[in-house]
Amino acid sequence: MARGDHKVGIIGYGAYIPRYRIRGEEIAKAWGQEHRKLPIKEKSVPNIDEDSLTIAVEASCYAIKMANIDSSEIGAVYVGSESPPYAVKPSATVLAEALGITPELIAIDMEFACRAGTTALQSVAALVASGYIRYGLAVGTDTAQGRPSDELEYTAASGAAAFVLSEKSEETVAYIEDSYSYVTDTPDFWRRDTKRYPMHAFRFTGKPAYFKHIYNAVKGLLNKTGLTIDDFNYVVFHQPNEKFPIRMAKMLGVSYDKLKTGLLSPYIGNTYAAASLIGLCAVLDKAKPGERILVASFGSGAGSDALSIITQDSLVEKRNRRPDIYTFINRKTYIDYSTYLRYTRSITMR
Amino acid sequence: MWEGVFTTSVSRVWRERIKKYRLIGGYCVKCGKRFYPVRSFCPKCGSNKIKEIILPRKGRVISYTIIRTPPAEFKMYAPYIVAIVELEDGTRILAQLTDIPINEVKIGMQVEAVFRRYREQGEEGIIEYGIKFRPVL
Amino acid sequence: MRKVFVTGIGATSIGEHWDKSLRDLMIEAASRAIEDAGIQKNMIEAVFIGNMSSSILQGQEHLGSLFTTWFGIPGCAAFRSEAACASGGVAFHSAYLAVASGLYDCVIALGVEKMSDVTSRDLSSALIMADDQEYTAFVGATFVGLNALVYRTYMNKFNVKQEDIAFFSVHDHYYAINNPISQFKFEVSLEQVLTSPLIADPIRLLECAPTGDGAAALVLCSERKLKSIERREGIVEVLASSVATDILSLQDRDDITTLNATKVSMKSALRQAKIERKDIDVIELHDAFTILGVIHLEDMGFAKKGMGWRLVKEGEIALGGNIPTNLMGGLKAQGHPVGATGIYQIYDVILQLRNEAGRNQVDNAEIGLSQNVGGVGGTVTINIFKGVR
């Protein structure tokens, strides 16, 4: 993919984070775990009428608005999520119908834990690069649910990021220079069919999973392109908490300065399939033209997509066509644990 | 809880989806009346000269109420706000307001359309989506 | 069109009749009405039944045949008319047309509803069917909620305080005390009304008509049939019967605080009856919610838009006032078994015209009007009556 002269560009992007937040302390209090070190300060919580599909629609609206194209011109919709509202019935169809993209398109939902968003992005890019479609929409979205009282409850959050891709041109705000993916069968986090909450393998999710795969994906990308880590102005890693991406940066010899713009999980939690893509949106909202961004996602199971993205001139004007990421990060209302249970449908009326 | 018959009809939901997802209204060329959803005849003058309009997504609250004793399929959402929103082109629409505490709603406030879940056809049935309004960002 | 007379009236009390089924209620009301008229069952040629929700609440359709079977008049023409909460009123209209046309000489108009068989939540789902299922029920609006939208718009537009509208409830309860069939027979104070629980802001519990069961029936005869019935006094002539519809949903209307169907229907009724507003001695209007009471007075032309509340505050609608209204308790206190209400209202008007309203009697009541509304004004029917001396 992305070999030769035909590069794929991002012609529009957008992100959405629900309004509600629950503080780490609030969760700790509910479970008598106040002694615990909190992995993040607070996380986003969807309203009771939101799900991964509705937030994907909103993020996609912004991406299409920035792209300034007729939505019917979009030839593919790929939605990456591990929390779709239906186990069988794709979110991509509802999204496409709501946005006026139907009926002529390729549509599919994809699952690869927190990597599904970047994999959707790569897949759509391949369709564009091969000339199969002119415009494509890739979305990473999740309204992740943590098992009550489990570690992951502190971080499982909600968010969506959407990208409209086309051939690189003057209209695109950034383009994909190259990418590399590293995948193995590594059972660090999974959910069996019919079970509501996922399982994770605690410390095993670190070195053999998160760190190994991102490290190898990034190294692979550098080898392939001949770039060095210092060629990047910004670095975005998958961010299940605050610690992991910071340690990853150290491992690769990247300064915290280059990491911090794209590190949002302390404020919004782990938005799973949207996480690294929302980080990318945050960087795109700040970057200058001609800068190089490294994005490395990580999805349990396991795999990492590493992408090198270069910003273009039209980024500066176009990114203002929709509310920036901080509009959503700063729009917040704190809720207590019982409201959190209600909104995430953990308790309900019969 | 009352389930079955028309409340679990799939074809009913499917039939109305495009008007509900994309907010498709009508404009009577003859008398100028604007209405949602689009329909074959103007409700005011009866003319069939109707133009289909993709409605604007922003508007203001004309009137609102807070539903505290909802029908069965909405009980998990109560209390919630139902309002008449007048869109930028004058079309009025009845919809829920969301992402706002019930005591902060005011007549005249500016709102914008968002895609949300309205209700489900039971635990195993399909989900009905539609447009609600929230305070403009 | 021939003259039509109401020669008999009968009704059950209104309340939660746990021991009476829908058919029991219908038969009780019809039995009383024919006894009141002094006719034999076999003189009835047609029955027009007003009912809103028997399909949902009882799982029962085909009320016409059900009634003639259980009343014991097989062969008689019978069918149901429906216009949401105006079902009673439109059933009356059908009965009136039947006799006025000359095709029938003696018919019954009957209204019946049984609301206590289901939970209030399911009842709410049934009542919203009076509005658009796809675009109103879909957004979770309840029937009270729709009226609340009208209420808030009205208060905001005309700068009126809630207490001046809520008083309608106090008025209704006061007169219901002397009405033997009322669901409620106690007074309420304005403070009680204003502090009762919120149902759909700003509407409070004591501003809403209650849900209940009841059936009421009327016998209508042609002039030439009068010599065949026993009753000689208290016969009432139907001067007018009109029905009008309006745009179904509030949000599609130009003015949310006006029920256009009332205006259209009123104009037609006054013209048919060849009378003026001031000739009306007693009124029964459809105050399912206090705000409607105020708005109906305006839309019928007794006050300018936005001023109807003054009539209530200044005692004009009380006994002794210029526009005696809902002197048997109205919908709020007498009760509102939805499909039956239209017939109950006529029953109340006729008691007044017969001088049988007891402590609630208006002096020399000669001409009475009933106004019955379906949905939030999707249908309005107005009927005008004159006591025959």
Determine contact, residues B63/C256, Cβ cutoff 8 Å.
Answer: yes
pLDDT band at B4 (very low <50, low <70, confident <90, very high): low
* Token output for C26: 């219908």
Determine contact, residues A306/A236, Cβ cutoff 8 Å.
Answer: no
Residue A53 to residue B129, Cβ atoms within 8 A: yes
- Cα distance from C137 to chain B (closest Cα, Å)? 9
The reply to whether B99 touches chain A by the CB within 8 Å rule is: yes
CATH of the domain at A309: 3.40.47.10
Cα gap C345→C89, rounded to integer Å? 9
Same domain (yes/no): A137, A186: no
**Options C17, C286, C296, C336, the catalytic residue:** C336
A253 by Cβ neighbours in 10 Å (0-12 / 13-18 / 19+) ranks as: exposed
Give A345's contacts in chain B (Cβ within 8 Å): 76
CATH superfamily, domain at C4-119+211-228: Thiolase/Chalcone synthase (3.40.47.10)
Cα gap C47→C134, rounded to integer Å? 33
Q: Which subunits have 3 or more CB–CB pairs within 8 Å of chain A?
A: B
The reply to whether A334 touches chain B by the CB within 8 Å rule is: no
Q: With H, G, I as helix, E, B as strand and everything else as coil, classify residue C23.
A: helix
Tell me, what DSSP letter sits at residue C332? I
Q: Which subunits have 3 or more CB–CB pairs within 8 Å of chain B?
A: A, C
- Cα distance from B36 to chain C (closest Cα, Å)? 8
Q: With H, G, I as helix, E, B as strand and everything else as coil, classify residue C322.
A: coil
- In the chain, the amino acid numbered C352 is Q
Residue A98: closest C-alpha in chain B: B21
What pLDDT is stored for residue A5 in this prediction? 65
The reply to whether B74 touches chain A by the CB within 8 Å rule is: no
Number of residues that this document lists for chain B: 137
Q: Is the pLDDT of residue A1 over 70?
A: no
Average pLDDT, chain A: 95
Q: Is the pLDDT of residue A3 over 60?
A: no
- In the chain, the amino acid numbered C326 is N
Residue C140 to residue B70, Cβ atoms within 8 A: yes
Same domain (yes/no): A286, A338: no
In terms of DSSP bridges, do strands C282-284 and A292-296 run parallel, antiparallel, or are they unpaired? unpaired
Residue A160 lies in a domain: yes
User: What number of other Cβ atoms are within 10 A of residue C35's Cβ?
Assistant: 14
Same domain (yes/no): A101, A217: no
* Token output for A129: 């690069």
Which phi and psi (to 5°) does residue C156 adopt? Answer: -70, -45
> Domain range spanning residue B83?
5-135
Dihedral sign, Cα of residue C7, residue C13, residue C16, residue C18 = negative
Same domain (yes/no): A38, A147: yes
The reply to whether B64 touches chain A by the CB within 8 Å rule is: no
What is the 3-state secondary structure of chain A?
CCCCCCCEEEEEEEEECCCEEEEHHHHHHHHCCCCCCCCCCEEEECCCCCCHHHHHHHHHHHHHHHHCCCHHHEEEEEEECCCCCCCCCCHHHHHHHHCCCCCCCEEEEECECECHHHHHHHHHHHHHHCCCCCEEEEEEEEECCCCCCCHHHHCECEEEEEEEEEECCCCCCEEEEEEEEEEEEECCEECCCCCCCCEECHHHHHHHHHHHHHHHHHHHHHHHHCCCHHHCCEEEECCCCCHHHHHHHHHHCCCHHHHHCCCCHHHHCECHHHHHHHHHHHHHCCCCCCCEEEEECCECEEEEEEEEEEECCCHHHHHHHCCCHHHHHHCCEECCHHHHHHHCCCCCCC
The reply to whether B34 touches chain C by the CB within 8 Å rule is: no
Cα gap B130→B127, rounded to integer Å? 10
Beta strand segments in A1-134, E: 8-16, 20-23, 42-45, 74-80, 106-110
Give C149's contacts in chain B (Cβ within 8 Å): 63-65, 82-84
* Token output for C5: 């007379």
Same domain (yes/no): A179, A169: no
Same domain (yes/no): A39, A58: yes
What pLDDT is stored for residue C86 in this prediction? 98
In terms of DSSP bridges, do strands C282-284 and C236-245 run parallel, antiparallel, or are they unpaired? unpaired
Q: With H, G, I as helix, E, B as strand and everything else as coil, classify residue A299.
A: strand
Determine contact, residues A9/A167, Cβ cutoff 8 Å.
Answer: yes
**Options A42, A58, A61, A114, the catalytic residue:** A114
Cα gap A232→C297, rounded to integer Å? 75
What is the DSSP annotation of A199-238? EE-GGGGIIIIIIHHHHHHHHHHHHHHT--GGG-SEEEE-
Residue A323: closest C-alpha in chain B: B137
User: What number of other Cβ atoms are within 10 A of residue A13's Cβ?
Assistant: 28
Residue B65 to residue C148, Cβ atoms within 8 A: yes
Chains A and C touching, counted as 3 or more CB pairs less than 8 Å apart: no
Cα gap A243→A37, rounded to integer Å? 11
Per-residue b/e over C17-29, b at no fewer than 16 CB within 10 Å? beebebbbbbbbb
A167: annotated active-site residue: no
User: What number of other Cβ atoms are within 10 A of residue C186's Cβ?
Assistant: 10
Determine contact, residues A110/A170, Cβ cutoff 8 Å.
Answer: no
Q: Count chain A–chain B contacts defined by CB atoms under 8 A.
A: 50
Give C197's contacts in chain B (Cβ within 8 Å): 68
Q: With H, G, I as helix, E, B as strand and everything else as coil, classify residue A41.
A: coil
Same domain (yes/no): A199, A235: yes
What pLDDT is stored for residue B3 in this prediction? 64
* Token output for B93: 């629409």
**Options A42, A82, A153, A291, the catalytic residue:** A82
Q: Which of A47, A86, A323 sits opposite B99 (nearest CB)?
A: A47
Residue B16 to residue C134, Cβ atoms within 8 A: yes
CA dihedral C296, C301, C306, C310 (to 10 degrees): -90
* Token output for A211: 């760190």
Q: Is the pLDDT of residue B6 over 90?
A: no
Residue B84 to residue C149, Cβ atoms within 8 A: yes
The partner residues of B117 in beta bridges, in order of sequence, read: B129
Q: Which of C121, C200, C254 sits opposite B65 (nearest CB)?
A: C200
Which phi and psi (to 5°) does residue B35 adopt? Answer: -150, 160
Question: Whole-model pTM?
Answer: 0.93
- In the chain, the amino acid numbered B117 is R
What would you measure as the largest C-alpha separation in chain A, in angstroms? 60
Identify which of A217, A208, A206, A211 has the alpha carbon closest to the alpha carbon of residue A182.
A217
- Residues 106-125 in B contacting A (C-alpha not used; CB under 8 Å): 114-118
- Residues 226-245 in A contacting B (C-alpha not used; CB under 8 Å): none
Domain boundaries, chain C: 4-119+211-228
Helix axes A91-98, A52-67, angle to 10 degrees: 40
What pLDDT is stored for residue B2 in this prediction? 57
The partner residues of A108 in beta bridges, in order of sequence, read: A78
What pLDDT is stored for residue C219 in this prediction? 98
Task: Quote ipTM for the complex.
Answer: 0.94
User: Tens digit of pLDDT for each residue in A202-237?
Assistant: 899 999 999 999 999 999 999 999 999 999 999 999
C62: annotated active-site residue: no
Identify which of C335, C378, C57 has the alpha carbon closest to the alpha carbon of residue C208.
C335
The reply to whether B90 touches chain C by the CB within 8 Å rule is: no
User: Please, where are the H alpha helices in C15-131?
Assistant: 22-37, 54-57, 63-71, 87-100, 120-127
User: Tens digit of pLDDT for each residue in C41-60?
Assistant: 999 999 999 999 999 999 99
Same domain (yes/no): A144, A190: no
> Domain range spanning residue A273?
174-316
A82: annotated active-site residue: yes
Same domain (yes/no): A38, A169: yes
Determine contact, residues A299/A119, Cβ cutoff 8 Å.
Answer: yes
Identify which of C223, C8, C10, C228 has the alpha carbon closest to the alpha carbon of residue C99.
C223
Q: Which of B12, B37, B82 sits opposite C141 (nearest CB)?
A: B82
**Options A213, A238, A242, A291, the catalytic residue:** A238
| CA–centroid distance for A146 within its chain | 17
Average pLDDT, chain C: 97
Cα gap C76→C108, rounded to integer Å? 11
Determine contact, residues C71/C63, Cβ cutoff 8 Å.
Answer: no
Identify which of A153, A164, A162, A159 has the alpha carbon closest to the alpha carbon of residue A331.
A159
Same domain (yes/no): A305, A329: no
What would you measure as the largest C-alpha separation in chain C, in angstroms? 57
Q: What is the pLDDT along chain C (389 residues), one digit of tens a residue?
A: 899 999 999 999 999 999 999 999 999 999 999 999 999 999 999 999 999 999 999 999 999 999 999 999 999 999 999 999 999 999 999 999 999 999 999 999 999 999 999 999 999 999 999 999 999 999 999 999 999 999 999 999 999 999 999 999 999 999 999 999 999 999 999 999 999 999 999 999 999 999 999 999 999 999 999 999 999 999 999 999 999 999 999 999 999 999 999 999 999 999 999 999 999 999 999 999 999 999 999 999 999 999 999 999 999 999 999 999 999 999 999 999 999 999 999 999 999 999 999 999 999 999 999 999 999 999 999 999 999 87
Interface residues of C toward B, Cβ cutoff 8 Å, are 120-122, 124-125, 128, 133-142, 144-145, 148-150, 152-153, 156, 197-203, 247, 249-252, 254, 256
Same domain (yes/no): A218, A230: yes
Residue C247: closest C-alpha in chain B: B43
Residue A58 to residue B114, Cβ atoms within 8 A: yes
User: Tens digit of pLDDT for each residue in B16-43?
Assistant: 999 999 999 999 999 999 999 999 999 9
Average pLDDT over residues A312-337: 96
Contacts of C385 (CB under 8 A, 6+ apart): C6, C236, C237, C238, C239, C346, C349, C350, C353, C367, C368, C369, C370
Give B73's contacts in chain C (Cβ within 8 Å): 125
The reply to whether B123 touches chain C by the CB within 8 Å rule is: no
Q: With H, G, I as helix, E, B as strand and everything else as coil, classify residue C140.
A: coil
The total domain count for chain A is: 2
CA dihedral A271, A273, A274, A275 (to 10 degrees): 60
User: Tens digit of pLDDT for each residue in A140-193?
Assistant: 999 998 899 899 999 999 999 999 999 999 999 999 999 999 999 999 999 999
Give B95's contacts in chain C (Cβ within 8 Å): 139
- Cα distance from C147 to chain B (closest Cα, Å)? 9
CA distances from A308 to A86, A177, A227, A297 (A): 33, 5, 10, 12
The partner residues of C387 in beta bridges, in order of sequence, read: C236
- Cα distance from A56 to chain B (closest Cα, Å)? 10
Determine contact, residues B119/B49, Cβ cutoff 8 Å.
Answer: no
Same domain (yes/no): A144, A31: yes
Residue B2 to residue C122, Cβ atoms within 8 A: yes
